[in-house]
Structure 1
Amino acid sequence: MKNKFIVIEGNIGAGKTTLSQKIADDFNAKLVLESFEDNPFLPKFYEDQERYAFPLELSFLAARYKQLIKDIEQANLFHSFTISDYYLMKSFIFAKITLADDEFKLYREFFEMVRSLLVKPDVLFYIHRDLNILKQNIDNRGREYEKSIGVEYLSKVTNGYFHYFKEVQDFPVVIVESDNADYLTKSHYNKFTQLLNKDFKNGITNIKIG
């Protein structure tokens, strides 16, 4: 595998974690999953976003940075590559949505300090799905603290990702249109995994599966 660090990103409910886990199992990859369920501010944020947005985003930034430094930048002799279901820029995208302007200005100073210290992905795949599909997936998995997530918020997240991707010039971003894709089926899964070892140019590439 020539792509040694692969990221699978997506909006809430896109299926990025399930896909990352399956790829790691099938290809003996080192798996890095975001430990969001351990964040004590997350349930509080969904109840009172204005009050808890800033501590939530700072805690996510610190946790993601520590995990990525530990799990990605350390050499691993037992796996052919590393696959993660998130990247640090996720912190920037969500913070820009949730924080007030003065809070985001302060937050950005912290973000820029840590961003330059991390290795960049060899390729980042963004699983793009229709907002209604995302909402249905969120409802189906039944997490109590996600019940308040609506289509309007999901739309802001999607727009945040796309706005950020337009500025990316130092690694490839592959937007995979996946409205009709089920990566638990063999045909769609195989089509996706064929992309893992391909060379992509820096910036945005669009691909459709399903």
Structure 2
Amino acid sequence: MNNIQDNHNHKIFIALGSNLGDRKQHLLDAARHIEQRLGLVIKTAGVYEVPAAGFTGGDFLNTCVLVHSHKNAQETIDILQEIECEMGRVPRSGTAYEDRVIDLDIVLFGDQIISTDHLQVPHLRMHERNFVMRPLEDIADKMMHPVLGKSMIELSSHLAPLEKIAGFEIPLSRKRYPIQNLNFIAVEGNIGSGKTSLTHKLSEDFNAKQVLERFADNPFLPLFYEDKERYSFPLEMSFLADRYQQLSDEVAQLDLFKEFTIADYYVIKSLIFSKITLQKEEYSLYKRLFNMMYKELVKPDLYVYLYQTEDRLLENIKKRGRDYEKNIEASYLSKIQQGYADYIRSQQELKIKVIDVTDLDFVNNQEDYLMVLEKILED
């Protein structure tokens, strides 16, 4: 049995059903609540009208959505039950099935097998129910059932067919937050600002090609630590060359299976850090070389700078526990912050969006993540 306490980003397939009141609106409202509290709605199935099963009641509208979320299975079911309660679903009066305003069930939680007193995943009877399998087949036909070892399309092949309702579907989050309309986004920020975490989330949620800064062994780095004055210039030049090469290669090359490119740095980073490290004359030469290389690079459609206070940055750095960062001081972070601020104020070529994330936790709090998406998309 898999552990339900891990914190990785999960692919969660959720079945939605309603047979009371304005059934279509209930499905739309439930999906919006899921987006706001759990994770973005990445895929949506067709909506099917099905007679009530196991009791006498009105016909159900049933569908299924794929959600990306870092929440574990127990946290997920807790959120879904809260949504059900707030939307007016009342607890069963007995053991029999009853009409319901909204019904939300975890059908699959990635490839996890979960068995607790309150939760069984995969759903124990999913493969017997066409109103579960037909929508699931729409968005996960090749996905394997982790217990039965068969694909969703194989499991549904013996079930009675269903007709989709024409002209109605649950909207995808990408329609509400069309990040994918940008060709190239660069995310920058101070050390510990969360730029790589945000880049990773956006790349997963919006099917983007992810470009992460390489941290290959640099032959000048140990020499720099021994003699900073002598080796600062060759070190900064080697970093510049590496960043220029990676951005030239990876950003310029299109990926047919990805919709846009997002990077957790841009070459501007070299200019900011070198100004702190180099002597005045060295920096003057470095900047001339930088400007020549910069002209050749693809420019981002949007340059996002994540701002956090130095105190918050130090907290984040401490939490991730990297040995080579343990001696970073607030004064050094302040210099970097000032360097970015000076550059951003003087920049007229790039479209820049500065987002203050000091009081936001866009990794663990879905509402904060949506707030960042809204900030990115603001005119």
TM, length-normalised to structure 2: 0.50
- Gap change, CA 1:117 and 1:103, over 3 Å in 2: same
Where do 1:86-97 residues align within 5 Å?
86-97=265-276
Measure how far apart 1:70 and its partner are: 0.6
Q: Residue by residue, what CA displacement relative to the aligned partner does 1:134-175 show, whole Å, maximum 9, x if unpaired?
A: 112112222222122100000000000010011211221111
What root-mean-square deviation, in Å, do the aligned CA atoms of Structure 1 and Structure 2 show?
Answer: 1.7
CA distance in 1, matches of 2:233, 2:330: 22
Confirm or deny that 1:102 pairs with 2:281. yes
Of residues 297, 310, 331 in structure 2, which corresponds to 1:131?
A: 310
Aligned partners of 2:355 and 2:375 also within 8 Å: no
- Gap change, CA 1:178 and 1:33, over 3 Å in 2: same
Q: Residue by residue, what CA displacement relative to the aligned partner does 1:67-111 show, whole Å, maximum 9, x if unpaired?
A: 000110122211111000100111011111110011112211211
Q: Which has the higher helix share?
A: 1
Q: Residue by residue, what CA displacement relative to the aligned partner does 1:23-82 show, whole Å, maximum 9, x if unpaired?
A: 111111000000135334445545653343212211110000000001101222111110
3-state SS of the aligned residue for 1:72? helix
Aligned partners of 2:248 and 2:297 also within 8 Å: yes
Q: Work out which of the two has the higher radius of gyration on C-alpha atoms and give 1 or 2.
A: 2
CA distance in 2, matches of 1:186, 1:46: 41
Aligned partners of 1:28 and 1:79 also within 8 Å: yes
CA distance in 2, matches of 1:37, 1:174: 29
CA distance in 2, matches of 1:50, 1:142: 28
Aligned partners of 2:209 and 2:258 also within 8 Å: yes
3-state SS of the aligned residue for 1:194? helix
Task: Determine which structure has greater relative contact order: mean sequence separation of CA pairs < 8 Å that are 6+ residues apart, divided by chain length.
Answer: 1
Aligned partners of 1:124 and 1:172 also within 8 Å: yes
Structure 2's unaligned 5+ residue stretches are: 1-179
Structure 1's unaligned 5+ residue stretches are: 201-210
Between 123-132 and 104-113, report the one with greater CA deviation. 104-113
3-state SS of the aligned residue for 2:342? helix
3-state SS of the aligned residue for 2:185? strand
Aligned partners of 1:32 and 1:83 also within 8 Å: yes
| 1:83 corresponding residue in structure 2 | 262
| 1:189 corresponding residue in structure 2 | 369
Give the percent of matched residue pairs that are identical in Structure 1 and Structure 2.
47
